[in-house]
Amino acid sequence: MKLLVENRDKVRILTMNRPEKRNALDSELTQELLKQLRVADAEDAVDAIVLTGAGPAFCAGADLAEFKDLKDPHAAEARAELTMQLHLVFSKMTTPVVTAINGAAMGGGAGLALAGDLAVMVRGAKIGYPEAKHGIVAAIVMANLVRQIGPKAAFELVALGEGIDGERAMALGMVNRVVPEGQLMDDALYLAAKLASLPKAAMAQTKRLFYEVLDLPLEESLKRAREVNRKMRGFGKA
């Protein structure tokens, strides 16, 4: 199976399972990951998600071997749409996601690493956007990157294409923690369990409002926050 699904109490663990391909995203894995994220988000018994990779890499990005065979423009467009939906789904979900970056996260893999709400990175791993070195553009992953770390740092990453280590990633605000290899899943599951322990309605509204205000002017953000404040006073601790 290209995606492993496991439950730890109220935490759903999704593990990309193509270690021989450094968990590169072909259409099948991308579709299954998108599906399972949506399934987990819809399940009452799942209150947090951990996303990680099998083997030495988190995710090498798009499967270039598959892209070489996409001669039909319609097929290429459909693949791009699928990729966009995968990177978009994280901000549309109400269930929090922790990414456990167990190794190299490159291109689309770097985009996935940052797409989660919290990120734990193993010391020695690298995050990078090498697309420009190969004559292409880090296109779909760029929007989230700029939002998270700002224009100057983001441009450096996508233009130079050089990978950065965990300490630099944390300094830029890309990840929350950098840990030794043997500690990665313990820390990721700890954070996920903490998120899962919070009242589900409050967590859902927190995440929904968080991603809304990212794209709204200040006045509109405050108005939206006022609406949520009124609504949550009615929820109490439900």
Question: What is the chain's length?
Answer: 238
Rounded Cα distance between 84 and 74, Å, is 15
Q: List the one residue out of 67, 57, 65 whose CA is nearest residue 125.
A: 57
CB atoms within 10 A of CB 77: 11
Tens-binned pLDDT, residue by residue, of the chain (238 aa) = 999 999 999 999 999 999 999 999 999 999 999 999 999 999 999 999 999 999 999 999 999 887 666 667 777 788 889 999 999 999 999 999 999 999 999 999 999 999 999 999 999 999 999 999 999 999 999 999 999 999 999 999 999 999 999 999 999 999 999 999 899 999 999 999 999 999 999 999 999 999 999 889 989 999 999 999 888 877 544 3
CATH topology for the 3-195 domain: 2-enoyl-CoA Hydratase; Chain A, domain 1 (3.90.226)
- 162 tagged catalytic: no
List, as one string, the DSSP characters of 102-170. Answer: -SEEETHHHHHHHHSSEEEEETT-EEE--GGGGTS---TTHHHHHHHH-HHHHHHHHHH---EEHHHHH
**Active-site residue, from 32, 77, 131, 212:** 131
